[in-house]
Amino acid sequence: MTETRTETTPIPTPTPGPTPSPASGGPTFGAQLRQCRQAAGLSLRQLAGRIGHDHSYLAQIERGQRQGTADLARRCDGELGTGNLLTEAYRRTPAKPRRSTPTVGLDPLESAWQQLAIAFPEKDAFLAAEESVWFSSLQSLPAVRRLPELVRELSTPPINHRALQEDRQIELSLLIAETLTACGRLGDARRWWWAARQLADALGEPGLCSLARSREATSGLAEGRALPELLELTDEALTLALQEPRRSDAMLSARSTRARVLAALGRVVEAHALLPQLLSHADELPMASTGRGWAPYEMHGVEGRVCASLGYWTAGCLMFARGLELCPSERLEERALLELAMAECFAGSSQGAAALAVAMRVLIELPDEWHTTYVYAIAARVLSGVRQREPRLPGLYDLDLLVARRPWAGRSVGSESCWGHSRE
C-alpha cells in the first residue's frame, strides 16, 4: 500500500522494510512483532482485534513503514505473553532520521507546520525534568512571545528519549493551537487542533485523545464556535476518558467542558447532573504547582467556570476568588481571566456596578501584549450580562468601547514578532 503526503495532510512516507538495530544487533520492533505473532499462531486481524488497533496499521509496523508506540508494544506483550520482549524491542529501535524540507519564503509558523507534517508520527523528546520547567515557564510569557518559543521548540533537534516524544509532540501542538487562538488566528489554530487529535489518536492512549478534544472544545467556547460541533467534541472526549478512568485529569476535563457546552445549549438539567461527578474527580486529582499538572488555582478555575455556567454565581465567585489568591503574580493573563470571571458572576447576580468596575479595571491595567481572545470572550460576557439585567447602568458604554478595542487583532506573530505593536 502506497501513502502520499501533501502540505496539509501529514502522513508518513513509507520506508524500506525492517532492518536490525545498529545499536544492539537485534531485530527491530516490527520484525520482533511479526515473529511473536506468528509463533502465537495469530493473524494480523486477530491480533489487531484483541489490542484494539486496525490490522493495516499493524501490517505497516511489521514492514517497517510505521514505528508504532510504546503503548501498542505493551498491549502486544500482554496479548502474546511475551513479557517485556516487544517493549524492549520498541525501545531499542532507532527513530527514523528527520527529513529536511525547503522553507525559503515561509514564515516560522508555516515552517513549523511543515516540520510537524514531516515528523508525523515520529516526534521530538526532552527529559521530563527539563520539560516540566519549560512548560511552566511558558505560562509567564504573553501569547505573542510564547508562540515563537513554541515554534523554536518544535524545530529543536530530537533527543534520543523515545518514552517522552509522542506526549511532548501532542502537547506542543495543543499549546500552539491555544496560543494561535489567543492571538486571534483562528484559521491557523484549526490546523493545529487537527494535528493534535491525529497525533493523539495515532498514539492510541484514550486519556490523551480525550484531553486533546476537551481542550479544543474549551477553546471553541471562547472562539464562538457552533455549539453542536463542540458538543460532538465533548461527547468524544467523555467516551475516551471513560476508557481510561484512572486518568482523573482527562475525566475532569471531559466532564467540565461538556457541562459548560450543555449549559450554553440550554440543557441545564443534563449539565447539572455532571456537577457532583466533576467535583469528585477534582478531589481525586493530584495537585501540581509546577509543570503540566493541575495547579490548585487551575482546579478552582475549572470548578468556578462550571458553577457560573449553571448560574451558581455566588459559588462561582468564591471559586474564582480562591483561584486568584493562589495564582502566581507573573501569570498576568490567567489572573485577568479569573478576575473577569468574577466580574461575570457579579453581573449574573445583578451587581452590575461591581461587574463593570472590575472588567474595566482589568482591561485598562492589563498590558496590551496580554490581551487575548480568551480575555475578550469573558469581557464580552460581562458586558452582555450587565446589559441584560441593568441596561441603563452608567459605564456600559465605556466597557463596550473597551471590548470593541481588541488590541491583539491583526498582530503579527512569529520569530520576528514585536509584541508591543499591532498592524493597523
Q: What is the pLDDT of residues 44-63, one digit of tens each?
A: 888 877 776 666 678 878 88
As a whole number of angstroms, the distance between CA 378 and CA 373 comes to 9
pTM of the model: 0.67
Q: Quick check: helix, strand or coil at residue 287?
A: strand
Q: 256: exposed, middle or buried (C-beta count within 10 Å: 0-12, 13-18, 19+)?
A: buried
pLDDT at 424: 32
d(CA 347, CA 385): 5
Instruction: Using alpha carbons, list the distances in angstroms from residue 310 to 136, 179, 263, 306.
Output: 31, 28, 6, 6
Q: Report d(CA 257, CA 305) in Å as an integer.
A: 9
**What is the predicted pLDDT for the residue at 423?**
32
- Residues in Cβ contact with 414 at an 8 Å cutoff, skipping those fewer than 6 apart: 107, 108, 109, 147, 148, 151
Instruction: Please tell me the total number of residues recorded for the chain in this structure.
Output: 424
DSSP assignment of 292-340 equals TSB-HHHHHHHHHHHHHHTT-HHHHHHHHHHHHHHS-TT-HHHHHHHHH
What CA–CA distance (Å, rounded) separates 136 from 146?
Answer: 12
> In this structure, what are the phi and psi dihedrals at residue 294, rounded to the nearest 5 degrees?
-85, 115
The pLDDT value given to residue 277: 78
| Interatomic CA distance for residues 2 and 339, integer angstroms | 54
Determine contact, residues 3/12, Cβ cutoff 8 Å. Answer: yes
Per-residue pLDDT of the chain (424 residues), as tens digits, is 444 433 333 433 333 344 444 344 578 888 899 999 989 888 888 887 777 666 667 887 888 877 777 778 888 888 899 998 998 888 887 765 444 444 444 455 666 655 555 444 333 333 343 444 455 567 778 888 888 888 777 766 555 555 456 677 888 889 999 999 999 999 889 999 998 998 888 888 899 999 999 999 999 999 999 999 999 999 999 999 999 877 888 888 999 999 999 999 999 999 999 888 777 666 555 554 434 557 888 889 999 999 999 999 999 999 999 999 999 998 999 999 999 999 999 999 999 999 999 999 999 999 998 999 999 999 999 999 999 999 999 999 999 999 998 765 544 443 333 333 333 3
The whole-angstrom separation of Cα 214 and Cα 184 is: 20
Place of cell 495547579: 295
The whole-number pLDDT of residue 68 equals: 77
Return the DSSP state at 424.
-
Which run of H or of E encompasses 114? helix 108-119
CA–CA distances in Å: residue 75 to residues 6, 197, 241: 32, 21, 18
**C-alpha span between 126 and 232 (Å, rounded):** 34
pLDDT at residue 228 in the model: 94
